[in-house]
Structure 1
Amino acid sequence: MPLFWRIFLLNAVVLVAAAALLLGPITVSTPILLAEAAILTGGLAAMLVANALLLRLALAPLRRLTRAMTTTDLLRPGRRPAVSGHGEIAGLITTFNTMLDRLEDERATSSARALSAQEAERRRIAQELHDEVGQTLTAVLLELKRVADHAPSDVRAELRQVQETTRGSLDEIRRIARRLRPGVLDELGLASALRSLTTEFAGPGLTVGHRLDAELPALRHETELVLYRVAQEGLTNTARHADAHHAELTLRTTANGVELLLRDDGRGLGDAPEGAGIRGMRERAVLIGADLALGAGPGGGTELRLTVPVPDRSGRP
């Protein structure tokens, strides 16, 4: 039973018992007058209503705190219930907010470690694909060419087909390695990396446009990497699940910082729950203090918006 009803019913029992005593063995006059009974009944009703209103007002901060507890998500930080009420209730809300601050800091620290380890593992796998598998397939291609040049004409065509298959596999491995380790991000910068990313995802059934500001404020390497990975995951979702024909990637400077915007004309999110990809994007956004919004676009489809606060020259965001 909720705390409100427990307190209210306890008070109601006391008040009803007092009224029963006044109407029973303890009376103002004998026999009891109808006017006295009406006054006592009206007084009891007034006391019960006043008691209910006072309890509602006193326990309202607890109800707000309960709603905050059920809706809190560490991947959407910064939301706090307002400290209200008096005494123990205000102290309870303050303690809850302090606990959220600690949990969000611990979550950000653990996410930073996990994402750093993930990027290191991606670099290692990409390096091994490039150095080991890539070089092996390159050697196979050269050997196939040498054998095909000396093979009889009836076998040569089959060897050429094997060459093309091997060359396609080598291109696919190089593409996977580029996705695992965006070397163009380190070498040419964020704008060039995003431009290359849109070209990579464009295909026969999907056109991907881009609008990238030429002048961007100085960003940390971690911030650029998060912007790139969020754009990569968003385009991956568009290509695989959105059933879209056109997508537009925008990177621009706003009054709030740097904004990455991805829109498509697909079927939208609907009622589908957030998967691991979207939660991964939220974790990356939390890592750099960015705000990630995902919903329906103005003309339908899906809109992904990542806003990264950029500190000014004084160091303030």
Structure 2
Amino acid sequence: MSLFWRIFALNAVVLGAATALLLWAPVTVSVPVLLTEAIILVGGLVVMLVANAALLRLGLAPLGRLTKLMTTVDLLRPGQRLPASGGGEITEVIRTFNAMLERLEHERATSSARALLAQEAERRRIAQELHDEVGQSMTAILLELKRASDEAPPPLREQLHEVQEITRESLDEVRRLARRLRPGVLDDLGLVSALISLTEDFATHTGLQVTRRLDADLPVLEPETELVLYRVAQESMTNVARHADATQVTVALRHTDDRVVLAVTDDGCGVEAPREGAGIRGMRERALLIGGSLEITTAPDSGTRVQLTAPVSRKQP
């Protein structure tokens, strides 16, 4: 039944009941209208309006649910759908909206994948240039400074030593930036070694206590899955250092059935409703890239827990 005929039928039922009541009920209207007659008429009108409103609300309820979903839907949280059963115009609208959501989610996932892969390729290129060009140039400068300091008189030698230390610290910073842009240990030694290196570097530069709980018997993962897990851990710890006011961070990685679960938990101030900033939305896009899901909740002992659940997509060793 179409929406027009559904509303028409509802109103016809209400008006028909009111007409039948007037025809067969022992009620008359005097001129002028008596108080008891006015009360009966007004009461009947109220009952008719209430019944009409209730029936219309029942008939148009699917449109209300559809409107609510339209205002709250987020393409980074796929799978939000409305049940569509039966026939009629409203059901067809819901089916069309569900199909549109599915198409938009697919297009968003595809475009995000292209953007993230291009971003990683650019990071790899910049990290390679930092390592090969800038790093080698600064290493050559260090060698020249050492040679010059060995031949310089004592007053100048002390100044050259200070310049050497500044250059050496700058070289270490360049290497650290290159590792953040593209961790070579991830390609060479795997995800667990890369997370160990990441947490050690994080603890050194922030002074926070880091606890690692990493399963050693992880299955062989696709490179994209390992990279997403690494980037989510990296972004989560960066958020802890910037916003959490924490003293301790726990990084856990475990394998359950056909999934790998990464959890980064801190003991900081916690969040009730985390703001979906660029960092969090970037993590959600990375999770969608590998078919995973990201959850940000309050940790049991206050603080915040970021959990990424990724399906295991095995590759040939």
Q: TM-score over 0.5 for the alignment? A: yes
Are 2:153 and 1:152 equivalent residues in the alignment? yes
- Select 1:266's aligned residue among 265, 268, 272: 268
Q: Which 5+ residue runs of structure 1 have no aligned equivalent?
A: none
Q: Is the 8 A contact 2:293 2:310 kept in 1?
A: yes
> Could you tell me how far apart the structure 2 residues matched to 1:74 and 1:272 are?
17
Shift of 1:239: 1.9
Q: How does 1:82-231 map to 2 (within 5 A)?
A: 82-83=83-84, 86-203=87-204, 205-231=207-233
Q: Secondary structure at the match of 2:307?
A: strand
Indicate the SS of the match to 1:299.
coil
Q: Deviation of residue 46 (structure 1)?
A: 2.6
Q: Is the 8 A contact 1:61 1:85 kept in 2?
A: no
Residue 254 of structure 1 deviates from its aligned partner by 2.2
2:298 partner amino acid = A
Q: Report the residue type matching 1:231 in the other structure.
A: A
Correspondence for 1:64:
65
**Equivalent pair of 2:222/2:314 in contact (CA under 8 Å):** no
Alignment of 1:246-265 (within 5 A): 246-255=248-257, 257-265=259-267
In structure 1, the partner of 2:47 is: 46
**Helix, strand or coil at the partner of 2:221:** coil
* Structure 1 stretch displaced more, 211-220 or 183-192: 211-220
Looking at structure 2, the residues matched to 71 and 215 of structure 1 have their Cα atoms a distance apart, in angstroms, of 40
* Corresponding residue number in structure 2 for 1:238: 240
Q: Give, in whole Å, the separation in 2 of the partners of 1:217 and 1:207.
A: 28
Q: Secondary structure at the match of 1:53?
A: helix
Asked if the contact 1:256/1:307 (under 8 Å) is kept, the reply is no
In 2, the alpha carbon distance for the partners of 1:267 and 1:30 equals 74
Identity rate of aligned residues, in percent? 65
Q: CA deviation at 1:309?
A: 2.3
Instruction: Using the TM superposition, name which of 168-177 and 84-93 deviates more.
Output: 84-93
Distance in 1 separating the partners of 2:280 and 2:125: 24
SS at match of 1:154: helix
Q: Distance in 1 between matches of 2:231 and 2:41?
A: 72
* Separation of aligned partners in 1, 2:98 and 2:294: 22
Q: Is the 8 A contact 2:209 2:249 kept in 1?
A: yes
Distance of 1:155 and 1:29 partners within structure 2: 117
- Please, what TM-score do these two structures have when normalized by structure 2? 0.86
TM-superposed CA distance for 1:74, in Å, is 0.6
1:238-280: CA deviations, max 9, x gaps? 1222222110100001246110001111122356622211111
Matched residue count: 299
CA distance in 1, matches of 2:313, 2:62: 36
**Residues of 1 paired with 2:314 and 2:40: CA distance?**
70
Question: What amino acid does structure 1 have at the position aligned with 2:254?
Answer: R
Q: CA deviation at 1:294?
A: 0.8
Deviations 1:153-188 (A, max 9, x none): 011111001001100100110110011111111111
Distance 1:78 1:126, change over 3 A: same
How many angstroms does 1:210 deviate by?
Answer: 0.7
